[in-house]
């Protein structure tokens, strides 16, 4: 279907070009939002981000792995209302370790080379979000759901 191909392309483009995303976690029923540098895997089934283990978001993820992430291309102008594309991602975050971690860090740093020191620090955890679905909002109010078959 034409729509699907078009959506996939727009989603890929957005995830490729945006550096930062808003991550939502929760602890004890209290939602918590933070900004993270992310990268998407080539099949768009996973997103990666890094955090040090002392952060509130990391603590939250230990008890509740379900997360929501918002990626968008707004430019803080009026035109955002008709131009901006926003994607809400729903999924589960898990810390990656061992050889898997080495492989994924390479991918992460290919997008964010300036974060090498940060990611390589022993206190820093690399987290992989397994995407359940994407909600894409375009033209102000059009919303499409993309269910990811893992």
Partner 1 sequence: MNTAIHLREIRDKDRNRVGGKGFALAIAARNRMNVPDAVVVSTEAYSNYVAATGLRERILLELNRKSFNEMRWEEMWDASLRIRNMFLNTPIPTQLSARLSDSVDKRFSGKAVVVRSSAPGEDSAKASFAGLHESYVNVRGTEAILEHIRLVWASLWSDAALLYRQELGLDVARSTMAVVVQEILVGEQSGVAFGKDPNDESQAVIEAVHGLNQGLVDGTVEPDRWTLDRRTGRVISHIPAHRDKAIVASTEGVRLEPLPPLKVGTPPLNKEEIAKVYDLVLVAERLFGRPQDVEWTFRGESLYVLQSRPITTMVTSESRDKRSWYLSLRRSFDNLRALRAKIEKELIPTMTEEAARLSDQDLTVLSDWELVEEIKKRSTIHRKWVDVYWSDFIPFAHGARLFGQVYNDTVRPTDPYEFMDLLGATEMTSMERNRMLEKLASIIRENPQLAEILIGDKRTIAAATGNDEFDLLLNEFIDRFGDLFHGMAQSTQQRSAIIRVLLEMASRPHTPKQTEPKDVEALKNTFLSHFQGEQRVEADELLDLGRTSYRLRDDDNIYLGRIEGQMLAAVEEGRRRIKNRARVDTDRLDVEDLIQALKDPDYVPKKTVSPETAKTDFRTKARQLVGQPAGPGIARGKARVILSPADIFAFKAGEVLVCDAVDPTMTFVVPLSAGIVERRGGMLIHGAIIAREYGLPCVTGVPDATSLIRTGAELTIDGYLGIVVLGE
Position 142 contacts partner 1 (CB under 8 A): yes
Stretch in the footprint of partner 1 (CB under 8 A) among 22-30, 95-103, 105-113, 131-139: 131-139
C-beta of 54: minimal distance to partner 1 in Å?
A: 36
Whole-number Å distance between alpha carbons of 85 and 50: 24
Residue closer to partner 1 (CB basis): 55 or 138? 138
Q: Please name every residue paired with 47 in a beta bridge, in sequence order, or none if there are none.
A: 40, 129
Residue closer to partner 1 (CB basis): 58 or 134? 134
Position 144 contacts partner 1 (CB under 8 A): yes
Burial of 108 from C-beta contacts in 10 A (0-12 / 13-18 / 19+): buried
Contact in structure between 56 and 96 (CB atoms under 8 Å): no
Whole-number Å distance between alpha carbons of 10 and 24: 23
Position 141 contacts partner 1 (CB under 8 A): yes
Position 143 contacts partner 1 (CB under 8 A): yes
Contact in structure between 95 and 127 (CB atoms under 8 Å): yes
Position 3 contacts partner 1 (CB under 8 A): yes
Burial of 51 from C-beta contacts in 10 A (0-12 / 13-18 / 19+): buried
Stretch 9-68 residues interacting with partner 1 (CB under 8 A): 43-45
Position 8 contacts partner 1 (CB under 8 A): yes
DSSP 75: -
Judged by CB under 8 A, the residue of 33, 81, 94, 116 near partner 1 is 81
The footprint of partner 1 (CB under 8 A) covers 1, 3-5, 7-8, 43-45, 78-79, 81-83, 134-135, 137, 139-149
């Amino acid at each position: 279907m034409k729509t699907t191909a078009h959506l996939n392309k727009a989603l890929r483009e957005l995830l490729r070009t945006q550096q930062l995303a808003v991550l939502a976690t929760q602890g004890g029923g209290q939602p918590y939002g933070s900004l993270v540098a992310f990268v998407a895997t080539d099949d768009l089934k996973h997103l990666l981000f890094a955090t040090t283990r002392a952060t509130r978001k990391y603590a939250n993820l230990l008890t509740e792995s379900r997360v929501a992430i918002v990626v968008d291309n707004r430019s803080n102008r009026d035109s955002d209302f008709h131009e901006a594309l926003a994607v809400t991602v729903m999924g589960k975050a898990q810390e990656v370790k061992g050889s898997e971690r080495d492989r994924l860090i390479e991918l992460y740093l290919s997008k964010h080379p300036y974060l090498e020191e940060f990611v390589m620090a022993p206190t820093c955890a690399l987290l992989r979000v397994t995407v359940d679905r994407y909600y894409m909002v375009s033209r102000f109010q059009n919303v499409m759901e993309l269910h990811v078959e893992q």
